[in-house]
Structure 1
Amino acid sequence: MTWHTPVLVDAVLEGLLPAERLIDGTLGAGGHSQALLAGGAGALLGLDLDREALAVARERLSPWQERVTLRHGSYEDMRLAARERGWREVDGILLDLGVSSLQLDRAKRGFSLRQDGPLDMRFDPASGVPDAACLVNGSSEEVLADLFRRFGEERHSRRLARMIVRERPFSGSGELARAIERATPRPWRGRIHPATRVFQALRIAVNDELETLQRALPEALSLLRPGGRLVVISFHSLEDRIVKRWLQQEERDCICPPQVPVCACDQRARLRRLRRRPLVADAIERERNPRSRSAKLRVAEKL
């Protein structure tokens, strides 16, 4: 089987190894976990909401099956999963955020702009949460415009929301992508597909991605041993902004407003960033693996 290529592998290995106990909170097809295990990681706990991805990862990681535990679930529940594994603390945690190449490549999942599939976009199709079709066909113009603006940073959110309400119902991802393309005047189009930001917004809303990330970061820190490391890979500014601001806050000894003369918050720094700026892929990797072009990696160490 041909495996998908994970992004920024060397930086992940440098950030997390050596380690006896690791958590890959967003396992996907298992590319990063494979590299970590091959690089000498002692034991690994992998989590993912996508059962198809777990099946692929299980096969990919079979040479290390005695050192690997895989669980179906969200990375925000990593502390519970670690406890069930018998771990109170770990040496490192990896979060590779967003949609996986495996999900993008399978039309039936509804994430792809270029392949027509059902308008689903759920990381866990069996979860019972409303899919993207429910959002697109059931939300008001105001709600859709707000979603596109907040979660997609789409400049033409109102225009596109108005078009969707006028032309719906939509049932397929390709059908929606083509409608957005038709509604976008050519001078407004950039290098990316006109529907990219709308699809990002729908996916984030369907899977509650940003709230999940905000809940998960403190969980990750609580699980790390002193000296343990957290590596987070993000793919758009909304994710990276959350990670950056959280790291900055946890790195400070005081978060009181500047006008407060004496500290009253009792905040103490709990981590340190190993790099001030995020690591990005070099030109060779960007050419070889297009998904890496927007990737940003941040790494921090627990104090």
Structure 2
Amino acid sequence: MASTSTHFSLLQPETGEQASILQDAMENMAHGFAVWDRDLNILLYSRRFLEFWDIDEDFVAAHPNLRDILRVVLMENGVTAEDVDAVIAERTRLVEEGQTEFTSFINLASGRVIENFVRFTPAGRWVITYTDITERRKAELELQAAATTDALTGLANRSAFYERSLQMLSLSAHKRRGLPVLMMDIDYFKQVNDDFGHDAGDKLLVLVAETLGASIRPYDIVARLGGEEFAAVLSDTDPDAAYRVAERIRKAVATLQLSDQPDLRISMSIGIAFTKADATDIDEALKVADTQLYLAKEKGRNRVEMVSKNR
């Protein structure tokens, strides 16, 4: 017998008040809800399901297959037919392997993020709940950013810097070559705060951070460690190239100007060191780079010092 789809038609045997209560509950669910037969033809759906996916009820009333519905609602959001087939195949594989409950996520081109909770029942039906978790995911990303990003400058914070540097060390281990570590400090920053106020100091930090971010590659890492101190780790970079990067940063910072303090001269001192080929952290290299940084300060500031440089 061909399956039919309707609002709660499978609940019709529950007549009277029970059916009315159940229908009210289902119609007022906050989530999209649908039940599919073993062959993934729709059997039952809530009004919210139609609203959730913006589907015409006449289309669903013809009891289409899940694949047909997904192609309609997802291909308008940048998902290809091949993607849809892959989703169906993966869900079927999980069920065949004995997994009866699982959750998946759909990222739509509109920016919406949809959570699908799937349960395969002993009767051979698929029960799927669709939840829009866009705001929740946004909040999670904001929390993650707050935990890994310096609030003022938008650069990575100290914690994220250490985590990323460990990943870079792990990736470079097979090359048996150390990574350049740069310690960078804005010259006379305390004087900027004292003479022009902390607002000017904050503007300067943001300006320098933007310059640093634009001076390194996406697979390097630069961070604000605190105060006017910044650090960077460069991937797959030899000493000569590391020195050139540092010089480029130093020269770029020297051209910066605060719009409301045009006479303020800005400069940066930089120290460079290298991790050992078998290093498991960057602590030692940071200390050496910090020593080189203060050597640059002692030699007059606005310069780069690199340990054992051979240029």
Task: Give yes or no for TM over 0.5.
Answer: no
Q: Could you tell me the TM-score, scaled by structure 1's length?
A: 0.23
More strand by share: 2
Q: Could you tell me the TM-score, scaled by structure 2's length?
A: 0.22
